[in-house]
Structure 1
Amino acid sequence: MAVGLCSLWAATGAQAEERVLRLGYLFSQNSQLGAGAERFASDVAKRTGGSYRVEVYPNGVVGGEVEMAEELRLGHLDMAFITSAPFASLVPEFGVFDIPFLFRDARHAHAVFDGAIGQEYLRKFQAKGLVALAWGENGMRHITNSKRPVMGPDDLKGLSMRVPQSDVMLAGFRAFGVKAEPLGFPALFGALQSGQFDGQENPIAVITASHFEKVQKHLTLSGHVYSWAALIVSKSAWDGLSPSERAVFVEAARAGGQVSREVAGRAEREGVDELRKAGMNVVASVDRAAFERSLQNTTAEFSKKFGPEIIQQIKSVQ
């Protein structure tokens, strides 16, 4: 679907040009990405005096995240709010953020992404012909399954789990003895319902918005991976903006990214109780040290792949 930058003539007394940008994202309008996208669109309209209108397309109607990233690269889609899932395959350096138990918690992750490391990685999108405006948030990822409570890596052994299309996350879960396989998110609910997979892992905001409690019995608050998101614009749309307009878009994107963090954080605090009331058995904490021990060999491979320096830099951020 070609959804590039287009121009409309507003029906006003003095005809003024209104330029429309189309922005896609994967989840529902009431998700953390939906809230961030709406705030971004509102701020762009307000800050440009109505010169720009951002139309938002939720629920993957313009494609999955891999497809949206490609459409952005080709200039067929103007903007997207995309989670971390597809980017490790596009920009291999991003895989470092998918290492399980790299981040202590969301606050640690925010400090990394808002600091020098995050700004350096924001620029890495340019090598793929994309312009990343600001970081947002999908959330800390947690494990659900239909078979048994999970408190340590031994409890995961033998379970079949859907994991995003990230080689690093696949390697991590396979190190725990999981039969881990990738699957596009839109097919996940049906795959869990049919028993194709015993479990999956996602942020609480995604678990609640997707009603996974209907097809999963057990929730483990593992917080094993921080899933970032980014507001991205195609190079062709970016090149059509003036310097002052670019500054407006960046500020609006930062506001939208912050809103996505707030919604994801609220889901962490409130969503767990909702899932518990819906009948899920909740394991509130895991044996993190045991998980890290199970990852030792795999972590050594990650160190070779990404470099021990960047891993240590990330871990040492306060």
Structure 2
Amino acid sequence: MKKMLSLALSASMVLSLAACGGSGKTETTAAPAPAATEAASEAATEAGSEAASEAGTEAAASALDALDPVTLTIYSPGNENSVPTKTILEYKKLVEEASGGKITLDAHHSGELGNDAEALQSARMGTIDIIFAGTSGFTEFYDKAKILDLPFLFDSAEQAYEVVNGEIGEKIFADLPSTGLIYLAEGDNGMRHISTTNRPVHTAADVEGLKLRVPTSQMYLDCWEALGANPVALALNELAIALSNGTAEGQDNATYHLVANATYDDIKYFSFINYMWMGCTMAANSDSWDKLPAEYQEILKEQAKVAAKYSFDTIAEDNKAATETLKAAGVEFDENPDIQSFIDKLGGNDYYLRYKDEPWYNQEILDEILAK
């Protein structure tokens, strides 16, 4: 657990020949000054690089021209205003531009092709070519991704982006093809904090006995039980009513989720404890992927990383807007809670060892994440 080309050059060489009348001597041209020689060399190198780059671009375009166009179905279960849906629409634009229109992404969202579980199954079967959905849904059939559900793994969403979209992310999802899917990139779904109806939370001691709504996941229950709270596993659509009637006295959720899901009417206090990061995974159906030429695969993979960054940037902006909305509604914010007290209450890194016998537990990957 932790706390997170072009340079344009020009050179001119002025050579003057002075003839001495009647001298009978032949004048020799002076050697260029060192600076002029260097500038000319750099200019030539730059021109060569630009020419090579243009040639490479033209060659790539020519290679794409020779390929048959393809249409792929991409899906996000979220509604049209959700960040995952905004992300697949951005991805559609990026891919179609990068491929010169040779790849068309047929985008669907808002439950058109089913909820998360149904859509993931469809993607594995090949009815959907590319899926972008919550990583927690992937853990139902790919438990190696559960390592990302460990608490206090990342200090910030920015740190999570660097980790999950680098070599570590590739390692975590290296065996995803065994499920019928190919990993493309990891997007953002927010950093989880805590908000309550009846008490401010500054230290771990403040959650003692708190009836806190958490998702229906054992790892969330484990964490809050270890912290001394009374976690209540409820579906998201039950949360607002639970907060209103006292079944729950708080929720662990990302800032923007409170506003997007309208679960803040009874909330009075909010603490930025950064206790768990949530991801959204973009993956392609294996059979659909294998049928694509390498050039198309490269474009889809590269632009998936760009789209993933877009999701992180979009959520960062949404979090800022949500914070202002919540403040206007009278919610009090603790922007500097004692995060270390939560880590200490869990027992530091030793907390993770409770899962050491689970098939998904990987100490090497965990150590790599913690070292970032």
For 1:315 and 1:267, how far apart are their aligned partners in 2? 27
* Identity fraction in percent: 24
1:302 aligns with 2:329: no
For 1:153 and 1:210, how far apart are their aligned partners in 2? 26
Deviation at 1:264, TM superposition (A): 1.5
Residues 76 and 84 of structure 2 are in contact (CA less than 8 Å); yes or no, is this contact kept in structure 1?
A: no
Residues 161 and 309 of structure 2 are in contact (CA less than 8 Å); yes or no, is this contact kept in structure 1?
A: no
User: Which deviates further from its counterpart, 301-310 or 114-123?
Assistant: 301-310
Deviation at 1:225, TM superposition (A): 0.8
Deviations 1:203-227 (A, max 9, x none): 2232232232224332211110111
Deviation at 1:304, TM superposition (A): 5.0
User: Any idea what SS the aligned residue of 1:213 has?
Assistant: coil
Residues 204 and 264 of structure 1 are in contact (CA less than 8 Å); yes or no, is this contact kept in structure 2?
A: no
1:316 aligns with 2:359: no
Deviations 1:54-74 (A, max 9, x none): 343334443332332222222
Length-normalised TM-score, structure 2: 0.72
Residues 202 and 337 of structure 2 are in contact (CA less than 8 Å); yes or no, is this contact kept in structure 1?
A: yes
For 1:298 and 1:202, how far apart are their aligned partners in 2? 21
1:247 aligns with 2:298: yes
For 1:107 and 1:20, how far apart are their aligned partners in 2? 30
Deviations 1:94-136 (A, max 9, x none): 2222111121222322232233211212323222111121111
Gaps of 5+ in 2: 1-67
- Map of 1:39-118 to 2, 5 A cutoff? 39-118=90-169
User: Any idea what SS the aligned residue of 2:264 has?
Assistant: helix
Paired AA for residue 315 in structure 1: L
Deviations 1:77-109 (A, max 9, x none): 332211222233322222222111121222322
C-alpha spacing 1:40/1:193, structure 2 compared with 1 (3 Å): farther
User: Any idea what SS the aligned residue of 1:139 has?
Assistant: strand
1:233 aligns with 2:284: yes
For 1:32 and 1:304, how far apart are their aligned partners in 2? 35
Paired AA for residue 368 in structure 2: Q
1:24 aligns with 2:76: yes
Deviation at 1:17, TM superposition (A): 7.1
Paired AA for residue 229 in structure 2: V
Structure with the bigger RCO (C-alpha within 8 Å, sep 6+) is: 1
Residues 133 and 250 of structure 1 are in contact (CA less than 8 Å); yes or no, is this contact kept in structure 2?
A: yes
Deviations 1:34-75 (A, max 9, x none): 321111111223234444443433344433323322222222
C-alpha spacing 1:178/1:53, structure 2 compared with 1 (3 Å): farther
Structure with a larger share of its residues in strand: 1
Question: Paired residue for 1:127?
Answer: 178
For 1:55 and 1:161, how far apart are their aligned partners in 2? 40
Pick aligned residue for 2:272 from 221, 230, 250: 221
User: Any idea what SS the aligned residue of 1:34 has?
Assistant: helix
Length-normalised TM-score, structure 1: 0.83
Residues 86 and 165 of structure 1 are in contact (CA less than 8 Å); yes or no, is this contact kept in structure 2?
A: no
Gaps of 5+ in 1: 1-15
Pick aligned residue for 1:289 from 315, 320, 340: 340
User: Any idea what SS the aligned residue of 1:90 has?
Assistant: coil
Residues 136 and 146 of structure 2 are in contact (CA less than 8 Å); yes or no, is this contact kept in structure 1?
A: no
Deviation at 1:316, TM superposition (A): 0.7
User: Which deviates further from its counterpart, 233-242 or 275-284?
Assistant: 233-242
Paired AA for residue 302 in structure 1: Y
For 2:328 and 2:305, how far apart are their aligned partners in 1? 34
Residues 38 and 256 of structure 1 are in contact (CA less than 8 Å); yes or no, is this contact kept in structure 2?
A: no
- Map of 1:201-220 to 2, 5 A cutoff? 201-220=252-271
C-alpha spacing 1:176/1:128, structure 2 compared with 1 (3 Å): same
**Rg (Cα) greater in structure:** 2
Residues 95 and 166 of structure 1 are in contact (CA less than 8 Å); yes or no, is this contact kept in structure 2?
A: no
C-alpha spacing 1:177/1:55, structure 2 compared with 1 (3 Å): farther
For 2:307 and 2:265, how far apart are their aligned partners in 1? 30
C-alpha spacing 1:162/1:69, structure 2 compared with 1 (3 Å): farther
User: Any idea what SS the aligned residue of 1:212 has?
Assistant: coil
User: Which deviates further from its counterpart, 297-306 or 151-160?
Assistant: 297-306
C-alpha spacing 1:115/1:173, structure 2 compared with 1 (3 Å): same
User: Any idea what SS the aligned residue of 1:231 has?
Assistant: strand
Deviations 1:152-202 (A, max 9, x none): 222222223332343222211121223324444455445445544332222
